[in-house]
Chain A
Amino acid sequence: MTISDETLMAYADGELDAAARAAVESAMLNDPQIEKRLAQHQALRLRVQAAYSAELSEALPERLLMAARGVPSQPAGNVVNLQEARAAMERSAPRAAPRRPWQSAGALAASLIVGVAVGFLMWGRSQSPLVFGAGGTLVARGPLAQALSNQLASEQSPSSSVRVEVSFLAKSGEYCRTFSLSREASSSGLACRHGDEWQVQILARGPAAGGDSEYRTAGSGLPASILKSVEGQIAGDPLDRAGEKAARDRGWKSIAP
């Protein structure tokens, strides 16, 4: 019995039904040539699969992850407004309670999210260091909130996933601190203490260490957009070590302007 090459190929690809497989197998017993041809098909298949398997473990670009999760692509300039980011988050979490109308407007327009804000959202609700608070503000939580409350710029553990750089008193009377996150969507931001939560004013793409130089000012370690925001809000000079510690020990309670 002759076995066509297409049949052997289909055998190697797992496309034959039981009867056809049995026919190939019994033909092989009588003809070692068939076995050899089949082995070639199988070897080629394995070789091709092996050659392409490494691609599956490559790191994925953030823009594709965001696109897959339905987060709108970033407009030019990498600036995304908070309203869009929030809408994207709500689209990806349909079971969340609907937002009440009185919560919707407000502080949104005042805030800008740059670049990776949407990157945080893709971590999913359970892991994101940011959540949307009442009125659409962006609030730090988890390790980020803890670091903002407790970590002094002068006493940081290199292993911490959050770095706090500059602490200052803003013109509003609130204490604000810049931070950098070292997780995969590495980024920096500015958060101000409002009541008992840290509200994030601005976020920027820009790793805490290395890379992405266009967003960074030489020597500062912080993206230019963050520095600009600090300059716009700061009253006086940044807190020194003693000032930072005193503010922390008072729970970052705001000072009437």
Chain B
Amino acid sequence: MNTSETPQNVHEQIVTLLPRLRRFARNLTRNPHDADDVVQIALERALTRLDQWRRDARLDSWMFKIVRNAWIDELRFRARRDKVFLAAEAGDSIGTDSMARETDLLSVQSAMARLPEDQREAVSLVLVEGLPYREAAEVLDIPMGTLTSRLARGREALQALLGTEGETP
């Protein structure tokens, strides 16, 4: 603790971030129940490691990273238990295809759910969460060049799935 920030302030800041953490977790997990579980695990971890948060670092990036690591751990755990995690199956949990055709809102989300994981993470952090490239690369532990190429491919795929503006998706 090298500033005057009290733990209470940090808690309140984390509460403010909650909607975004949940949203990011949903994009990662493609399942709202998994997302809340992962966010809860991440919150518990973050609070026990608050001393590891550099006060000059962005709290949102730091938390996104913890959420992502919690999800990676969860996937490893599931793999160890030999439970099959089918991406396609999980993708169905947010909206159905018939709903997806009805509104733009669902079509963007179902298009997102079809992206490969690495592209979905990049698009989610930059386009949805609005992180600068540098922060997003840091969250994902990848070089900037890797981030921008995943982002470019993710955008291209989204564009193809959604159609261009004005056209029927």
Contacts and interface: CB of A to CB of B under 8 A. Distances in A.
Q: Do A and B come from one complex?
A: yes
Given A57-B19, A60-B19, A73 B44 contact: yes
B23 interface: yes
Interface string B136-154: 0000000000001101100
A55 B129 CA distance: 12
A57 B6 CA distance: 27
Contacts of B123: 48
Interface string A58-102: 101101110111100100000000000000000111110000000
A91 B7 CA distance: 8
10 contacts: A6-B149, A9-B148, A40-B165, A55-B23, A58-B19, A64-B18, A68-B18, A68-B43, A70-B11, A95-B6
A13 B144 CA distance: 14
Contacts of A93: 8
A29 to B, nearest CB: 23
Interface SS of A by simple majority: helix
A54 interface: yes
Contacts of B7: 70, 91-92, 94
Interface of A: 5-6, 9-10, 13-15, 40-41, 43-45, 47-52, 54-58, 60-61, 63-65, 67-70, 73, 91-95
B47 interface: yes
A51 B109 contact: yes
B43 to A, nearest CB: 4
Nearest to A63: B40
B41 to A, nearest CB: 9
Contacts of A68: 11, 14-15, 18, 43
Interface of B: 6-8, 11, 14-15, 18-20, 22-23, 26, 36, 39-40, 43-44, 47, 104-105, 108-109, 112, 123, 126-128, 130, 132-133, 148-149, 151-152, 155, 158-159, 162, 164-165
A93 B104 CA distance: 44
Contacts of B108: 47-48, 51-52
Given A60-B22, A64-B39, A68-B15, A45 B44 contact: no
Contacts of B14: 68
A49 B155 contact: no
Contacts of A94: 6-8
A193 to B, nearest CB: 33
A92 B11 contact: yes
Return the 10 tightest CB-CB contacts between A and B, nearest first: A51-B108, A67-B43, A56-B19, A43-B165, A48-B127, A55-B23, A68-B14, A68-B15, A52-B128, A51-B105
